[in-house]
Structure 1
Amino acid sequence: MTQRYIDSPWYGKIWAFLKQFPQGLAEGAKRSPATSGPAAAAIISAGIGCFLMMVAHHFSDADHSKTVETFLWNLGSWIPGSKNPSKMWGNIGSYTGKETMLLIGWLVSWPILHYLWKDRQIKAKTILFWFFALMIAATAMSWHPLFPYLPLT
């Protein structure tokens, strides 16, 4: 340790440590990963979460009794602003439940896919195909001019 490091204040020591931290990451690993399964699980699970959010959205729209929308609103009530009593700020509403479904789909599918694929080598083409297929499907489901012609009920 240099004298300058010892004499610096606590925040200076933290800053000196943080400046050195990325150097270890920049060096990289000594060898590349042997399998791509864990990375595939992380990427594809994000697409599954987005797709599940849009499925929940369309189920809540198709339900005329509003039981699904009420369920989703209660599911997402942990998000601040979901049920805001102030008329000035308004409510986020059942969208919080749809976002919660995204989180559930992502966080449940990731460990499952990771467990199934942890020792497998999955081609990059396969990973990208499923990720983009799920994202395109979720995007198409959010594009409302398409769905009056494809009713869900």
Structure 2
Amino acid sequence: MTGLLVQIHLIDGSLYNGTQAPDSLYKYGMGKYLDAFRKFNTDSAQFRKSMEYYTNTPDKLTAIYDNVDKRIKALSDSLNAEQAKERTRLLKKDSLKTDSIKKANLKHKTPAQKVDSVKQAKTKKAMDAKIDSIKKLKYRPKPNAVPIK
């Protein structure tokens, strides 16, 4: 009974996650349910009778659903682990691709370019020094001036 309930709940989940047009659950779900019943050598009438029995004995139904819960969690965990592996594989693949692109874009500087970059650095440093001195002058304390008579 546990295996059949796991299959039925998985089918329910797959049907309710898709688009739902009128009668689509019956149209697309009936075949899946019949396959599940066939797999466990039962039919819908026998399943209904079994559910009525277990509904009248809640202790047994609770035990069955504890096992159903464990199996579905195990399936979910294994699926999540596979998806995590796939994500890390894709991220690694993407990072290798960007690294090779970065390497291809790196060019060695010629001696003239090196001299230009040194000049630019010195010019920037000088400009920063001028800006700092202007800021200092602008915000310096003003003496208390006495007007001349």
Place the TM-score, normalised by the shorter chain, in its bin.
under 0.3
Structure 1 length normalisation: TM-score? 0.24
Structure with the bigger RCO (C-alpha within 8 Å, sep 6+) is 1
TM-score of the superposed pair, with normalisation by structure 2: 0.25
Task: Indicate the structure (1 or 2) with the bigger Cα radius of gyration.
Answer: 2
Which structure carries more helix by proportion? 2
